[in-house]
Structure 1
Amino acid sequence: MVKHVPEIQGILRRHMIQVPNVIREASGIRIFGKRLKSFVFSTDVAVIKNTNADAVIAVYPFTPQPLITQAIMLSADIPVFCGVGGGITTGKRVVNLALDAEFKGAMGVVVNSPTPNEVIEQMRDTIDIPIVVSVVSEYENIKERIEAGATIINVSGAKRTSHIVKKIREMYPEFPIMATGGPNEETIRATIEAGANAITFTPPTASEILSEIMIAYREKYAQEYYSE
């Protein structure tokens, strides 16, 4: 028997970014008692405040800064996983950023693919929250990542993502895996079927959403003008 799920929406917050429903087919990852299936990939506080995703993965291509982490933490009403570097930013600074993120209330931290295993080991000895290690290729040594202290593997392999997920799942049947879902429901489902427990979703930007709204406004005025 399918249970009815009552849904309550406000008038002003009805216009928000909805993650694809197919993500609900994933098993999810239970972290500190919370079951997380969908992660919105964004650092835009307006997007973060207006999404139904279970959590935020806030990674950006600049040197991580505590002020940015603080701004995201203040705006989010869902768990946040903060990027702390590992590529350009490495060594002791990554460990310090991870500790600062934990102190600010982050549920987990995310490190980039080039992060040395020694740094992951130092992080594991320093913080108590999950360490999410990004994987971009099937040729990476997953065993060493896990032994170093990775809590979750985050697969971001573009078109190869589902293949990489499947390969990792064959080696580690129960290890937590999150992955990018791709551009549509079919690619998301394929990634889930390959073994991903959770999906990261890249939402449209605020400018793209606003552009669609403006087009609708213009069409409305045009219709009113020609109907007179």
Structure 2
Amino acid sequence: MENFDNSERKKKFVPSIETELRRRQVSVPEVTYRASGINFMGKRIKSLLFTNDIPIIVNNNAQAIMSVYPFTPQLKIVSAIMEVASVPVFVGIGGGTTSGLRVVNIGLQAELMGAAGVVVNAPMTNDNIKVISRALDIAVIATVITKYDDIEGKVDAGARILNIAGGKKTAELVKYTRHIVGDEFPIIATGGHTDEHILETIDAGANAITYTPASSAEIFSEVMEKYRLNMKEKEQ
């Protein structure tokens, strides 16, 4: 019997089913699925869409949503996103301006609404992470933005996942973090907008990739431009 390694196996054909009215959607880059993924309660997640845009949350093919925004967390925002999302949602609950007991209360409410996990921003103290992780059953995801973050301290405080957001140096930061936390600790990281950057981040040690899509306004602008061109061609 012949032996074949993975490189010799033919790529399996995947049938695709679309509908006329739902053909337009935001798709994450295919290379994202080369990541190992993280198993959340039996669901393997490799791709997360970083957005709070309701129409995009409804029309995408990502395996999860990461909802973090630069405003004080509000439950009505969490509720709106949870209501329309058909995949697991990870919601931001503070870390900069918002901290202490308020963050714990928001986290508890998010959990009761069905959030798969909560995300705390980089300034969140380890003491706060410890309190949140003890109060919640769902995973606490701690954000790391620089190698000067107390990465080991965040993990010791109870963070079950690290979210690496290092801008252009994300891949480098992922590699640095992986060296500290070991091979098995789950890491989510921003992948950038090119296949090259995403693959670089995965190779550095990221288990799952967040992808930031264009906004509804940007997508609609492209659609309107196509409409204008079509009308112009008809007139000619």
TM-score by length of 2: 0.94
Which one of the candidate residues 89, 95, 98 is aligned to 1:86? 95
Aligned residue pairs total: 226
- CA distance in 1: counterparts of 2:157 and 2:183, whole angstroms: 19
The residue that corresponds to 2:3 in the other structure is none
SS in 2 for 1:84: strand
**Residue identity (%):** 48
CA deviation after TM superposition for structure 1 residue 139, in Å: 1.4
Question: CA separation in 2, counterparts of 1:183 and 1:52?
Answer: 16
Displacement of 1:66 in angstroms is 0.6
2:57 is matched by which residue type in structure 1? I
Q: 1:121 aligns with which of 111, 130, 149?
A: 130
Gaps of 5+ in 2: 1-8
Question: Aligned residue for 2:161?
Answer: 152
Structure 1 CA distance for aligned equivalents of residues 178 and 149 of structure 2 = 14
What are the ranges of 5 or more consecutive residues in structure 1 without an aligned counterpart? none
* 2:196 match: 186
Structure 1 residue 7, shift from structure 2 partner: 2.0
Matches within 5 A, 1:60-139: 60-139=69-148
Stretches of 4+ aligned residues off by more than 6 angstroms = none
Structure 1 partner of 2:216: 206
1:178, 1:142 → 2: CA distance? 14
Task: Report the AA paired with residue 69 of structure 1.
Answer: V
1:19-34 paired onto structure 2 within 5 Å: 19-34=28-43
CA-CA distance at 1:3 after TM superposition: 2.8
Quick one: which amino acid aligns to residue 202 of structure 1? T
1:7 to 16, 19, 37: 16
Matching residue's letter, 1:96: N
Shift of 1:212: 0.3
Q: Distance in 2 between matches of 1:142 and 1:91?
A: 20
**1:169 equivalenced with 2:178 (yes/no):** yes
Q: For 1:93, give the aligned amino acid.
A: R
